[in-house]
Amino acid sequence: MTSTIPTQFEAALVDEFGPTLNIRDIDVPKPGVNQALVKVIASGVCHTDLHAAEGDWPVKPEPPFVPGHEGIGEVIELGPGNHHNVEVGDIVGNAWLWSACGECEYCITGRETQCNFAEYGGYTVNGSFGSYMLVDTRYAARIPESVTNYVEAAPILCAGVTVYKALKVSETRPGQFMVISGIGGLGHIAVQYAVAMGLRVIAVDVSQDKLDLATRHGAEFTVNAREGDPAEVVQEYTGGGAHGVLVTAVHEKAFRQAIDMARRAGTIVFNGLPPGEFPASVFEIVFKGLTIRGSLVGTRQDMAEALDFYARGLIKPTVSECALDEINDVLDRMRKGKIDGRVAIRY
């Protein structure tokens, strides 16, 4: 096996923060303790990759680095250590939660996504915008054997697990109303998980194309936020507001609107991460007994569950394929909100 591994491979790198990634050859890394070298087959492109490239979040990665945290590929070499049933030939994925310490207060209480010592795929460690990547076999996603369409499955690794976890922590029950605000890469998958969970889905976006996509994925009602006040429309349709509101949108306005769309005692979950703030009325939060929650990706167990929904055919991400050398064009379209669903690189 070792003889087939080249010394270099092509990757898209952030050499300095800005809109453009550089495509160039870099050395194939050697897997360290608990790590595996993976030959990447497909990688989704996430909105977070834009933030990584532009370095506009408060916690910044250190260039040069390779973005990408929705990569799926085949294990071709194992480093030293115990690999917990991961073997050469297995299909695994990297993820935003690339690894965690496993021992801190958060890790031992089922909240490993909050670990202070976590490493992030395509951010603090090189990711999947290249044909080889490393994973930590303790944290890598295990792709179910029945999954064969890796381009389509790639978005589950970030978009899928993120919205699945957010829906779980919304504590919404079957038959209740769930607003999905923002029908992009995350939102169009959120609609499908919510439908699969038996929730009544209302999709909110500013683009009719995206609302049509939500309808195709099972949303029972759609609201175009460009046409009047979406909160008013949601309040009326639901007879008092939605039990859960999930914000995947990246415009600050959507966060304020989410509070106005919620039912009394409802839960609002934030997934979208625009750098910024939004105004919220203390009176309204207290008086309506609202819960506002941030939710960041998911744990390994959430990942296994999210992948299982996909493997059972309940989730079908809308994905278009691109080549690695088209990445700058894809990021540009993403910046302009011109992508339906997700784009994934096929190697």
Which residues of the chain form contacts with Zn ion (CB under 5 A)?
A: 46, 48, 100-101, 104, 107, 115, 158
Cα angle value 99/104/108 (rounded, 5°): 85
For Zn ion, which is the closer residue by CB, 73 or 241? 73
Residue 241 beta carbon to Zn ion: minimum distance, rounded to whole angstroms = 29
DSSP β-ladder status, 119-120 and 97-99: antiparallel
For Zn ion, which is the closer residue by CB, 123 or 221? 123
Determine the Cα–Cα distance for residues 235 and 241; give it in Å rounded to an integer: 4
- Unique residue bearing structure tokens 């690189």: 345
For Zn ion, which is the closer residue by CB, 97 or 223? 97
Residue 287 beta carbon to Zn ion: minimum distance, rounded to whole angstroms = 35
Determine the Cα–Cα distance for residues 11 and 21; give it in Å rounded to an integer: 9
DSSP β-ladder status, 319-322 and 119-120: unpaired
- List the structure tokens of 186: 């995350």
Residue 128 beta carbon to Zn ion: minimum distance, rounded to whole angstroms = 11
Residue 294 beta carbon to Zn ion: minimum distance, rounded to whole angstroms = 15
For Zn ion, which is the closer residue by CB, 14 or 115? 115
313 three-class SS: coil
Residue 107 beta carbon to Zn ion: minimum distance, rounded to whole angstroms = 3
For Zn ion, which is the closer residue by CB, 100 or 134? 100
Total length of the chain: 347
Residue 104 beta carbon to Zn ion: minimum distance, rounded to whole angstroms = 3
Check residue 117 and give left, alpha or beta (phi > 0: left; psi -120 to 50: alpha): alpha
Residue 70 beta carbon to Zn ion: minimum distance, rounded to whole angstroms = 6
For Zn ion, which is the closer residue by CB, 28 or 107? 107
For Zn ion, which is the closer residue by CB, 23 or 101? 101
Q: What is the 3-state secondary structure (H, E, C) of 92-159?
A: EECCCEEECCCCCCCHHHCCHHHCCCCEEECCCECCCCECEEEEECCCCEECCCCCCCHHHHHHHHCH
Q: How would DSSP label each residue in 13-80?
A: EBSSSSS-PEEEEEEPPPP-TTEEEEEEEEEEE-HHHHHHHHT-SSS---SSB---S-EEEEEEEE-S
